[in-house]
Amino acid sequence: MTDTQGTNMLGCYGHPELRTPRLDRLAAQGIRFDRAYTCQPVCGPARSALFTGQFPHTCGSWANSMPLGAITRTIGQRLHAAGIHTAYIGKWHLDGSDYFGAGQCPDGWDPAYWYDMRNYLAELSPEERLLSRKVEANRNPGVQREFTFAHRCSNRAIDFLGRHNTEDFLLVLSYDEPHGPFLAPEPYASMFRDFTYPKKANVADPLTGKPEHQRVWAGSALTADAAKMEIRAPDYFACNAFVDDEIGRVLDAIDRFAPEALVVFTSDHGDLLGSHRLWNKGPVAYEEAANIPFIVRWPGQAPAGAASRLPISHIDVVPTLLDYFGQAPLSMLEGSSLLPCLRDPDVRVNDAVFIEFGRYETDHDGFGGLQLMRAVCDGRFKLVINLLTSDELYDLDRDPEEMTNLIADPDSAAVRDRLHDKLLDWMNRTRDPFRGYYWERRPWRTDTHPATWACSGMTRQRVVEPGEPQQLDYNTGLEIRETTRIK
């Protein structure tokens, strides 16, 4: 996986000018999912769902610098307990430490291969550390490939494949690239110096009828002349092409050492790149931020050169891997196994998928602070509830750039309310700690229940892990018979 690489950054998703031939080849050899979504468009929370199979609001890591909950288990722990060799190389971002991580291997992963960004910095001199955080290092005289985090991560992955290819294994390779500071060696460093990214119509989105927090986020860009705007990010695009090259090195090693392996590629979230007058990522569910690349190659099982527009989510990865390794499904996981649609991309696994946002980072006061968002997408329509501002509804088939907010459109009320009901049910099923009557009582919803302190009146206790003592009923002290019931 990569960091900050939406579908708007890959050739196989319609951007050949960005030069990602290795990932394009992987897509040609397997299935490209066009409606795949992150669970939260921020680094740490996205990873929390990807590696636990539980949404950020469930596993506890709903903002950067917030560690996983003490009772949360990762796919590494689950598969390691089943006798699978599990190794994690690269950015982790789930230990509650700073951006670089604590440098300590979490339970469930092979310590011999653990290598996060703090381990990388520990290999550098103080002068080299400063250099590693400056994009200017790409010039005069430039960085060497061997200096980069990506290259050192690739080397470890290739070593693992060469030594352990006869075992059942799960190898995770998590690049920080193309996330800033965008270090890239030549020829990539100068490849995009004169390149201007093609603009879509939504760079001129006036954000009229859109949520207030988006206009606050846009700031001075809201009144800028969009016709004069140029999307230029030469170092970001350079790093994007460079990490594709590094991924190619690892794919070559897979072809050599483990050609029948199931290979999954994805990224944590995208970058808005000026769409809707916004940059970076944050509390929006726009396609540029939330729609992530998801490519699967599975020789002999998944058809080559296939594409699917059915909705899938990062929340499905852990159930998929457990299913692949023959492990029993676990009821506390909140996604579905994708194996049926990997064998046949026309099989619909999810009726809808969900996206959330809580906060960018506990250490930062920027990025809007607390911005509670919950969203649902059925593959065509996307409903976004922004609790503190206003809401959105988009028809992705008719309006793929999400320019027209249909939230108050009477002709869309039926589909809007249907998705709203799905969203509320999901918040209840996943024990969302932020749920309450205010998510239901939106200005456009005319058939809501009166606000009551008891809300639904239900209590929803946690489904326990295998071997863990069953939770007890508050009223009786006896083991609960149903997790969801009137208290």
Neighbours of 341 (CB within 10 A): 24
pLDDT band at 187 (very low <50, low <70, confident <90, very high): very high
Q: Is 392 exposed, middle or buried (0-12, 13-18, 19+ CB in 10 A)?
A: buried
The Cα–Cα gap between 4 and 152 comes to: 19
User: Per-residue pLDDT for 366 more than 90?
Assistant: no
- Among candidate residues 43, 105, 153, 341, the one labeled active-site is 43
Q: Is the entire prediction scored with pTM above 0.95?
A: yes
Is there a cis peptide before residue 293, judged by omega within 30 degrees of 0?
A: no
The pLDDT of residue 274 is 97
| Options 93, 151, 269, 276, the catalytic residue | 93
Residue from 426, 384, 326 nearest 54 by CA: 426
At 140, list the tokens.
């005069």
Give me the pLDDT at residue 487, please: 81
pLDDT computed for residue 190 by the predictor: 97
Choose among 146, 153, 196: nearest CA to 177: 153
**What does the pLDDT read at residue 140?**
84
- Rounded Cα distance, 419 and 393, in Å: 10
Give the up-direction half-sphere exposure of residue 163: CA atoms within 13 A in the CB hemisphere. 11
Average pLDDT, the chain: 97
- CB 203, CB 274: distance < 8 Å: yes
Weakest-pLDDT range from 71-85, 245-259, 306-320, 451-465? 451-465
Q: Which of left, alpha, beta for 402 (phi over 0: left; psi -120 to 50: alpha)?
A: left
Query: Would the pLDDT of 467 be above 90?
Result: no
pLDDT of residue 240: 98
250 phi and psi angles, rounded to 5 deg: -75, -40
For the chain, give the percent of residues with pLDDT over 90.
96
Residue 327 has pLDDT above 90, yes or no: yes
pLDDT at residue 367 in the model: 86
Taking only the tens place, the pLDDT of each residue in 112-144 is 999 999 999 999 999 999 999 999 999 988 999
Neighbours of 469 (CB within 10 A): 8
Q: In this predicted model, what pLDDT tens digit does every residue of 376-386 receive, in sequence order?
A: 999 999 999 99
Active site residue 93: yes
Strand 306-308 to 31-33 pairing: parallel
Question: Confidence class of residue 351 from pLDDT cuts 50, 70 and 90?
Answer: very high
State the pLDDT confidence band at 414, using cuts at 50, 70 and 90: very high
**3 state SS for the chain:** CECCCCHHHCHHHCCHHHCCHHHHHHHHHCEEECCEECCCCCHHHHHHHHHHCCCHHHHCCCCECCCCCCCCCCHHHHHHHCCCEEEEEECCCCCCCCCCCCCCCCCCCCCCCCECHHHHHHCCCHHHHHHHCCHHHHCCCCCCHHHCHHHHHHHHHHHHHHHHCCCCEEEEEECCCCCCCCCCCCCCCCCCCCCCECCCHHHHCCCCCCCHHHHHHHHHHHHCCHHHCCECCHHHHHHHHHHHHHHHHHHHHHHHHCCCCCEEEEECCCCCCCHHHCCCCCCCCCHHHHECCEEEECCCCCCCCEEECCCEEHHHHHHHHHHHCCCCCCCCCCCCCCHHHHHCCCCCCCCCEEEEEEECECCCCCCCCEEEEEEEECCCEEEEEECCCCCEEEECCCCCCCCCCCCCCHHHHHHHHHHHHHHHHHHHHCCCCCCCHHHHCCCCCCCCCCCCCCCCCEEECCCCCCCCCCCECCCCCCECCCCEEEC
Extents of the domains making up the chain:
7-350, 457-487
pLDDT in tens, 202-237: 999 999 999 999 999 999 999 999 999 999 999 999
Q: What is the mean pLDDT of residues 79-95?
A: 97
- Residue 306, both tokens: 């296939």
Per-residue burial over 396-412, b if 16 or more Cβ lie within 10 Å, else e, is: beeeebbbebbbeeeeb
At 431-443, the pLDDT tens digits run: 999 999 999 999 9
Instruction: Please report the pLDDT score of residue 68 as a whole number.
Output: 96
Rounded average pLDDT over 37-49: 98
User: Could you confirm whether domain 7-350 is CATH 3.40.720.10?
Assistant: yes
Q: What is the pLDDT of residues 246-289, one digit of tens each?
A: 999 999 999 999 999 999 999 999 999 999 999 999 999 999 99
Q: How far is CA 100 from the centre of its chain?
A: 18
Q: What is the C-alpha separation between 290 and 309, in angstroms, rounded?
A: 15
Q: Is the pLDDT of residue 158 over 90?
A: yes
Give the pLDDT band of residue 452 (cuts 50, 70, 90). Answer: very high
Instruction: Tell me the average pLDDT across 97-124.
Output: 96
The pLDDT value given to residue 364:
85
Mention every residue, 6+ apart, whose C-beta is less than 8 A from residue 316. 335, 336, 337, 338, 349, 350
Q: Are 276 and 214 in contact (CB under 8 A)?
A: yes
Q: Label residue 103 by pLDDT band (50, 70, 90).
A: very high
Residue 43 a catalytic site member = yes
Q: Name residue 452's amino acid.
A: T
Interatomic CA distance for residues 133 and 143, integer angstroms:
12
